[in-house]
């Protein structure tokens, strides 16, 4: 073989890529690839395939179009006629060195190598298709996972927002509950106070309407004053009830004080009188002795705090 007879032979290029040529064949292919860009490109492709051989351990069925294309290429590379070799004497053939053998002396090796290379190409083609399918499947899975992650993040954000709203509502509810509890407690205290006042009113009503009760009028020293009073008592009893009306509001630090008097002196009877905004007041007193043992009663204006003797500011007075 020389460069002019065989300008481009795919078998030799395949055997060259696999390292299966003798010295002369290697030289001839070197001359071919030196002058032929097409041969260089073909050899480059074949070497890339050979470099991938270690990764082709597991064969995969390639698509039919790849198989048909490769076998068509192999068939096209075969010569149309089979060379006829003239038998040589054994001694003569043995005497010819390997480097001087014609290029087709290694044809059976190149064909076998090309067949092996074809099978590897088929396997790599199928592996490539399988890898492409795997990549597509992984890409789809990745997109689905990305979408799921986005949904999970959105769900988490929605849950956190709902938790914050719930926490705010809970805080508002707790504040409302605390306020309602305080108002209920105050209402309970008010109801207790009203019940106490109601019980007092009932006792007063029973006292002033009981049989044998004695009544004494208390008149104002100032005839223009609307203040009036009635004292209810039972002879021989130390308890009495005094009802007031028309009492005027006092200045800060002043109180109304009720007194019992006889020849021994004057004593305060009961606590300071509490006057309502309507000018009404009620006093239930417990005297040291029988109420009818005293000869006079009076209502005076005093400074806040205990006073041993009444001031001259007498509002009401009466005789028992």
Share of the chain above pLDDT 90, in %: 46
pLDDT of residue 263: 87
Q: Contact at 8 Å (CB) between 21 and 107?
A: no
Q: How many CB atoms lie within 10 A of CB 99?
A: 10
Q: Is the pLDDT of residue 59 over 80?
A: no
Q: Is 157 a member of any domain?
A: no
Mark whether 28 and 136 lie in a shared domain: yes
- Does one domain contain both 15 and 138? yes
Note the pLDDT of residue 106. Answer: 47
| CATH number for position 219 | 2.60.40.200
- Claim to verify: residue 223 and residue 125 sit in the same structural domain: no
Q: Are residues 21 and 123 in the same domain?
A: yes
Same-domain status, 120 and 244 = no
| pTM to 2 decimal places | 0.45
User: Residue 51: what pLDDT?
Assistant: 83
Q: Is there a single domain that holds both residue 222 and residue 112?
A: no
What residues contact 25, with CB distance under 8 A and at least 6 apart?
A: 1, 12, 15, 16, 103, 106
Torsion of CA 153, 158, 164, 169, to 10 degrees: -170
User: What count of other Cβ atoms lies within 10 Å of the Cβ of residue 167?
Assistant: 10
pLDDT over 90 at 234, yes or no = yes
Residue 126 covered by a domain = yes
- What is the Cβ-side half-sphere exposure of residue 115, based on CA atoms within 13 angstroms? 6
Question: Is the pLDDT reported for residue 158 higher than 70?
Answer: yes
Q: What is the pLDDT of residue 182?
A: 92
Shared domain check, 232 and 134? no
Q: Which of 142, 169, 192 is the last residue of a domain?
A: 142
Least trusted range by pLDDT, from 95-99, 253-257, 306-310: 95-99
Residue 192 lies in a domain: no
37 contacts 62 by C-beta, under 8 angstroms = no
254-270: pLDDT as tens digits: 999 999 999 888 999 88
What is the total count of domains within the chain?
Answer: 2
Block residue for tokens 């509502």? 169
Q: Which pLDDT tens digit goes with each residue over 17-44?
A: 888 888 898 999 999 999 999 999 998 9
Of 107-116, 260-269, 297-306, minimum mean pLDDT range: 107-116
Domain range enclosing 29 = 10-142
Tell me whether residue 280 is in a domain. yes
Q: Are residues 134 and 235 in the same domain?
A: no
Lowest mean pLDDT among 88-97, 167-176, 207-216, 235-244: 88-97
- pLDDT the model gives residue 131: 80
In terms of domains, do 14 and 138 share one?
Answer: yes
Does any domain span residue 191? no
Q: How far apart are CA 211 and CA 263, in angstroms?
A: 30
- Is pLDDT larger for residue 309 or for residue 116? 309
Find the farthest-apart pair of alpha carbons in the chain and give their distance in angstroms, rounded.
180
> In the structure encoding, which two tokens stand for residue 25, read together?
């064949």
Going by pLDDT thresholds of 50, 70 and 90, the confidence category of residue 73 is confident
Report yes or no on 166 lying in a domain: no
Q: Indicate the pLDDT class of residue 96, thresholds 50, 70 and 90.
A: very low
Contact 227, 245 (CB under 8 A): yes
Last residue of a domain, one of 98, 119, 142: 142
- Domain assignment of residue 40, yes or no: yes
Q: For residue 235, is it within any domain?
A: yes
Q: 142, 163, 191: which is the final residue of a domain?
A: 142
Place of tokens 């395939």: 49
3-state helix, strand, coil split of the chain in percent (to 5) is 55, 15, 30
Tokens linked to 264 = 């021994």
């Amino acid at each position: 073989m020389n460069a002019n007879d065989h300008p481009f032979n795919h078998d030799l290029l395949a055997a060259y890529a696999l390292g299966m040529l003798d010295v002369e064949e290697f030289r001839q292919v070197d001359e071919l690839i030196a002058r032929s860009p097409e041969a260089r490109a073909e050899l480059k492709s074949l070497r890339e395939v050979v470099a991938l051989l270690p990764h082709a351990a597991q064969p995969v069925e390639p698509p039919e179009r790849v198989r048909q294309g490769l076998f068509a290429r192999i068939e096209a590379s075969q010569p149309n006629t089979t060379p006829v070799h003239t038998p040589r004497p054994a001694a003569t053939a043995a005497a010819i060195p390997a480097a001087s053998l014609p290029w087709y002396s290694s044809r059976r090796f190149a064909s076998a190598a090309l067949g092996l290379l074809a099978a590897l190409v088929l396997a790599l083609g199928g592996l490539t298709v399988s890898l492409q399918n795997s990549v597509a499947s992984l890409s789809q899975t990745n997109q689905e996972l990305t979408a799921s992650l986005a949904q999970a993040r959105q769900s988490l954000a929605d849950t956190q927002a709902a938790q914050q709203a719930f926490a705010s509502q809970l805080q508002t509810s707790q504040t409302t509950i605390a306020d309602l509890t305080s108002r209920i407690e105050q209402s309970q205290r008010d109801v207790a106070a009203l019940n106490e006042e109601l019980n007092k009113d009932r006792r007063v009503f029973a006292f002033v309407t009981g049989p044998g009760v004695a009544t004494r009028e208390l008149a104002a020293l100032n005839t223009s004053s609307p203040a009036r009073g009635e004292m209810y008592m039972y002879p021989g009893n130390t308890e009495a009830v005094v009802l007031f009306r028309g009492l005027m509001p006092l200045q800060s630090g002043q109180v109304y004080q009720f007194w019992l008097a006889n020849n021994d002196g004057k004593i305060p009877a009961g606590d300071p009188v509490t006057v309502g905004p309507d000018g009404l007041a009620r006093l239930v007193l417990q005297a040291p002795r029988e109420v009818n043992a005293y000869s006079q009663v009076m209502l005076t204006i005093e400074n806040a705090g205990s006073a041993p003797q009444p001031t001259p500011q007498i509002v009401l007075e009466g005789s028992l």
